[in-house]
Structure 1
Amino acid sequence: MHLLGYSIATDYPNLPPRHKIIINTINPHSYCEAKKDKYFFQALKSSDVLLPDGVGIVWAAKFLKGKRIQKIAGADIHQRLLEIANANQQKIFYLGAAQNTLNLIAARIKKEYPNIKVASFSPPYKPAFSQEDSEKMISSVNNFQPDILFVGMTAPKQEKWVHAHKDSLDVNVITSIGAVFDFYAGTVKRSHPIWIKLGLEWLPRLLQEPKRLWRRNFISTPLFIKSVLHAKLKN
């Protein structure tokens, strides 16, 4: 479904693919950021699958297209891919986050999905990676030869890095899921399912991390609504 200049998926992708597939997510904040960042826009635009990770995108689809679509968060696609990997005895790789977080993820994977082989790499914490950094990251992934690569380095850095290096990564499925690393590791608590069902997953997170998340809720959300209303008037 084409919405606000993007081709947005209305359901989970059919997997496993016959070729490399890049899965990203979009929400009102990332939409607004992509309007200011051309390379981020290109990264989202070139996604093989772009999932609606936000009630704002779900609302826009209904308001502009009259279509009801399902919100599919990064945590949802993460779980779906883990189930597929476990059923097919596949290998997965986590790229991003601190080593302690990665260790907690590996321990949980071993317990919940025993058929999965897992490896990881914690890249340096910096605003931008050097060529040497990226080469180490790519080598770590390719040496393990995973079926699925999860990237968690916050948006838009993670999507832009994947877009720049996807041709060098020897893996079938690549998806950027940001905060899901911390959710799954248990180092950050995801909103209760009741809040998620009500379409208010953002509220508890905002209360937990107001300094980091206030901009996306009080600046990006109104700007997104303005864009949607403008698109409606154009039609």
Structure 2
Amino acid sequence: MNQFDEVKLLGTRFHKLKVYQLIDYIVKSAKLEKKTTVSNVNVRGMNYACKLPWYREFLNKSDLVFCDGFGVLLGAKICGCQINSSHRMTCPDYIENLALACERENVSLFLLAGKPGIVDKAITKLKRIAPNLIIEGHHGYFDKSGKENELVIQKINEFKPDVLYIGFGMPMQENWIRQNIDTIEAKVFLPLGACLDFYTGAVYRGPGWMTDNGLEWLTRFFTEPQRLWERYVVGNPLFFSRVFLQLLKKRFQKRVRATSRY
């Protein structure tokens, strides 16, 4: 079903697609009698993939992986990939279009994310623009193992969602999916991080001109410097150093191959 071109960066692959194609893929997958995982990558995800083998495997085995970060776009361009800003999408920008598509196609949606109260606000907001949307939810602040985890999965299975949105943050959400996917009765598994926090206004993203031009991270850093300094001050340079090392390695290998012909 997935016929999108792949981009390989730092040993991790993602797909070239636009937001309308992503929404269409999710809705169509929700009608199939199989489980589908739709993941995403940003700079933080790429860094996790470099140090956690299971995380890289999770991304590389996902049915579809979309780009959710300008840094990843830039890294791919540096390595010679033909890619542009239309191939990057972030959930708060398209969640209402996804909800409308789910309503139109009678696809149910379960939100599993955020602090208590965030899901309720998100559902209320989504129902305003998609009043016939079949939607349920539960907060993400629960023990991810043991009895409490079993009760949350029981609630999900009673609803039997076509699309299950999981927002615990990387890499917890991906690890939770791989540990529980076999026992969860859902069609599409969609890890999307802090989307609902941004969508409900619980966390400030920054002005549109910044979020549209790859500077959302700057707003987030100055909003929560103590929590996010390592992610951006350390993580961004680390990612680009890895990209440049990969580029140098490719150029060196190309030169060796060229000289070996003579």
**Which whole-Å deviations, capped at 9, do the CAs of 1:120-175 have from their partners, x for residues lacking one?**
1224445xx22323222221111101111111112110111012212222112111
Q: CA RMSD in A?
A: 1.8
How many residues are treated as equivalent by the alignment?
A: 233
Q: Which runs of 5+ in 2 are unaligned?
A: 1-5, 251-262
Corresponding residue number in structure 2 for 1:121: 138
2:205 matched to 1:193? no
- Aligned to 1:103, which of 120, 123, 129? 120
Structure 2 SS opposite 1:204: helix
More displaced, 222-231 or 77-86? 77-86
- Aligned to 1:47, which of 52, 62, 70? 62
| Identical-residue share of aligned pairs (%) | 27
**Which whole-Å deviations, capped at 9, do the CAs of 1:43-83 have from their partners, x for residues lacking one?**
22222111111111101221113312421223345344223
More displaced, 181-190 or 204-213? 181-190
Corresponding residue number in structure 2 for 1:218: 233
Tell me: CA distance 1:94–1:45, structure 2 relative to 1, closer, same or farther (3 Å). same
Taking the TM superposition and a 5 Å limit, the aligned residue runs for 1:1-235 are: 1=6, 2-11=8-17, 12-13=21-22, 14=25, 15-17=27-29, 18=32, 19-69=34-84, 70-76=87-93, 78-125=95-142, 129-235=144-250
Structure 1 SS opposite 2:79: helix
TM-score by length of 1: 0.91
Q: Distance in 1 between matches of 2:57 and 2:193?
A: 18
TM-score by length of 2: 0.82
Q: Which runs of 5+ in 1 are unaligned?
A: none
Asked if the contact 1:123–1:133 (Cα under 8 Å) also holds between the matched residues in 2, the reply is no
Structure 1 SS opposite 2:66: strand
Q: Distance in 1 between matches of 2:140 and 2:196?
A: 14
Q: Distance in 1 between matches of 2:231 and 2:140?
A: 26
More displaced, 41-50 or 171-180? 41-50
Asked if the contact 1:75–1:177 (Cα under 8 Å) also holds between the matched residues in 2, the reply is no
Asked if the contact 2:118–2:139 (Cα under 8 Å) also holds between the matched residues in 1, the reply is no
Q: Distance in 2 between matches of 1:173 and 1:78?
A: 15
Asked if the contact 1:90–1:115 (Cα under 8 Å) also holds between the matched residues in 2, the reply is no
Asked if the contact 2:71–2:214 (Cα under 8 Å) also holds between the matched residues in 1, the reply is no
Cα drift, residue 89 of structure 1: 2.6
Structure 2 SS opposite 1:8: strand
Structure 2 SS opposite 1:99: coil
